[in-house]
Amino acid sequence: MRSMKEISNGLAARHEVRMIVPQHGFRGKVSQRHEFDFQLELLDTNGLKYTGPYVYWATKRALGRFNPDLVILAYANLFKPYLIHASRGYPIITIQDPYQLICPIDVGLLFRNGKVCQFDAIRNPGQCALCPDNITRIVKGIGPIAGPEYFRSFRFLYPLYHKLLLKSLTMPLRYVVGSTYVKARCAEIIPEKLITIIPFGVNPQVFRPTEKSAQKPIRIYLPGRMWDPVKGMGVMLQAANKLWREGYRFELIVRGAVPSNIDDRKYPFLKRLEWGSDKAPAETYAMSDIVAVPSLFAEPFGLVAVEAMSCGLPVVASGHGGLIDTVVDGTTGYLFKPGDSDDLTLKLKQLLVDADLRSAMGKKGRSRVLENYTWDRVVLQYDALIKNVFDQNTNPGHIPTYQ
């Protein structure tokens, strides 16, 4: 929601904007207190109302009241086909994040049996319906929305859901993705000419460099939802153990929960912090010296890497997915072979022993963010896309409506 707030507020300076937001308990609620520069249309979809058909009906009615000239569909996960169908009749731009429409796992992971999955829900519906990783995440409750959305969207009725999904792919005029990797995966099932890369952004005033103390231990920050095994905390701990045994001293910072099979007492370097306020991410970067992003699945973009670079920190990240776009290997940090703790150890060593290298890479990362990943630049790209869509349609307009 933070991303959509920044994008929509930026567009509100150029267009009249309305945002339609389904309200439901287990995924959280949005309100005007989130600092939107326009009024929200909040849909009551709590309790038993939160199902695919009801969300379709409520959204269609809301769109009828606004009669927008353009609909931009944001994050909806397994409900995305319903929102696309509800928007039929309007020009549609849909944001594909992370792998919505092509992977049914949780928020869309494209991860199966410990590696990046080569299947997709369009061409391999049977494989996806029986995906062992999806079943495991639902049974074990890994991911707060995996189970509820799987059933409430009727995704388990995969022949019917697949038909709905296939039809929905024919409706958007443009698909927005965050990286070249996601574009390549989507281009396997969607005409490439309809896919536009627009990255996510950061606020460089919030995520900014801070003075580093030479007295404290070197701190490696592991951002993101580390309780999820696909984020690679296991690989990070293997690398950290090797470094510790070799005599390197540091703190490994993690915010929030970790996988249930990890015993903190076995890792003297592990420092766990509570989530705290909305300012917690920026505050944690400020106390850190290195950021690690060891994701096992192919991050579709890797926003935490951009946040870290904006804070002037070097990033050591898995060399796949969107991280290949954001982290420049050898310049703003290092890319390592995904899942390879030895390679991760080697890259971290170089930064642990060389403060000048950390500083130089951090400065180059900050410059890269200012050139490519500020919200002002991102909004300009969305505005250009909107104008392009209007130029190719006979019904130009002024009200981008978000889902």
Domain range for residue 313? 218-372
Q: Is 118 exposed, middle or buried (0-12, 13-18, 19+ CB in 10 A)?
A: exposed
pLDDT in tens, the chain (403 residues): 678 889 999 999 999 999 998 876 545 566 555 678 887 888 888 888 889 999 999 999 999 999 999 999 988 888 999 999 999 999 999 998 778 788 877 667 889 888 999 999 899 988 888 888 887 877 776 765 667 888 888 988 888 999 999 999 999 999 999 999 999 999 999 999 999 999 999 999 999 999 877 767 899 999 988 888 899 999 999 999 999 999 999 999 998 777 777 777 889 999 988 766 556 789 999 999 999 999 999 999 999 999 999 999 999 999 999 999 999 999 999 999 999 999 999 999 999 999 999 999 999 999 999 999 999 999 999 999 999 998 876 443 334 444 4
CATH of the domain at 260: 3.40.50.2000
**Which run of H or E residues covers position 318?**
strand 315-318
In this prediction, residue 395 carries a pLDDT of 45
In this prediction, residue 139 carries a pLDDT of 74
In this prediction, residue 373 carries a pLDDT of 98
Phi and psi (nearest 5°) for 270? -80, 125
Q: Is residue 211 part of a domain?
A: no
Does residue 10 sit in the same domain as residue 159?
yes
Beta bridge partners of 350: none
Smallest Cα–Cα separation from 315: which of 291, 295, 335, 296? 291
Distance from first CA to last CA of the chain, Å, rounded? 11
325 Cβ contact list (under 8 Å, min separation 6): 179, 180, 181, 199, 301
Does residue 180 sit in the same domain as residue 42?
yes
Q: Is residue 174 part of a domain?
A: yes
Pairing, β 195-197 against β 111-112: unpaired
Q: Where are the alpha helices (DSSP H) in 16-112?
A: 52-66, 80-86
**Per 3-state DSSP, what percentage of the chain is helix, strand, and coil (rounded to 5)?**
40, 15, 40
Q: Is residue 207 part of a domain?
A: no
What is the Cα–Cα distance from 151 to 362, expressed in whole angstroms?
Answer: 44
What is the Cα–Cα distance from 122 to 101, expressed in whole angstroms?
Answer: 8
CATH of the domain at 16: 3.40.50
Beta strands per DSSP E along 54-181 = 70-73, 92-95, 111-112, 115-116, 174-177
**Which run of H or E residues covers position 255?**
strand 250-255
In this prediction, residue 143 carries a pLDDT of 63
In this prediction, residue 400 carries a pLDDT of 45
Q: Is residue 63 part of a domain?
A: yes
Q: Is 19 helix (H, G, I), strand (E, B) or coil?
A: strand
In this prediction, residue 403 carries a pLDDT of 44
In this prediction, residue 259 carries a pLDDT of 72
Q: What's the Rg (C-alpha) of the chain?
A: 21
Total number of domains in the chain:
2
What is the Cα–Cα distance from 241 to 133, expressed in whole angstroms?
Answer: 28
Q: Is residue 208 part of a domain?
A: no
Q: How far is CA 183 from CA 105, 249, 319, in A?
A: 19, 41, 17
340 Cβ contact list (under 8 Å, min separation 6): 235
Q: Is 42 helix (H, G, I), strand (E, B) or coil?
A: strand
16 Cβ contact list (under 8 Å, min separation 6): 38, 398, 399
Q: Is residue 209 part of a domain?
A: no
Q: Is residue 210 part of a domain?
A: no
In this prediction, residue 396 carries a pLDDT of 38
